[in-house]
């Protein structure tokens, strides 16, 4: 993380989506569930979208979500891109 300039709601949403669940000490639920990437992309997509939506709604109250989408870039390797349309409140 940067020393400055990472407190905007948009940056906080991006940071949240880059965290893997279990990575943050004393906040073990914060982050995306990495076990979802081991599933087939058709099955993982809605679960990852729901997980991202829960994550942002729980940890970033300054933002309301417009939509969440997931794209499998290298699905066999577990590489997914989560797109979020966030609206500042």
The domains of the chain, with CATH numbers, are 9-88 (3.10.450.40)
Pair of tokens at residue 71:
């794209």
Report pLDDT for 2.
59
Averaged pLDDT, 9-17: 86
Q: Which pLDDT score, from 0 to 100, does residue 3 have?
A: 64
Is 17 within 8 Å of 85 (Cβ atoms)? no
pLDDT higher than 80, residue 79: no
Which residues lie across from 20 on neighbouring strands? Answer: 32
Q: What are phi and psi of 36, to 5 degrees?
A: -70, -25
Alpha helices by DSSP H, the chain: 9-18, 41-59
Task: Tell me the per-residue pLDDT of 36-49, one tens digit each, with 9 for 90 and over.
Answer: 878 877 888 889 88
């Amino acid at each position: 993380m940067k020393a400055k300039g990472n407190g905007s709601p948009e940056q906080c949403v991006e940071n949240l989506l880059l965290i893997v669940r279990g990575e943050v000490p004393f906040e073990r639920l914060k982050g995306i569930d990495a076990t979802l990437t081991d599933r087939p992309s058709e099955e993982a997509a809605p679960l990852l979208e729901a997980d991202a939506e829960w994550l942002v709604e729980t940890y970033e109250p300054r933002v309301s979500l417009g939509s969440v989408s997931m794209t499998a870039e290298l699905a066999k390797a577990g590489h997914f891109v989560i797109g979020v349309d966030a609206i500042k409140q």
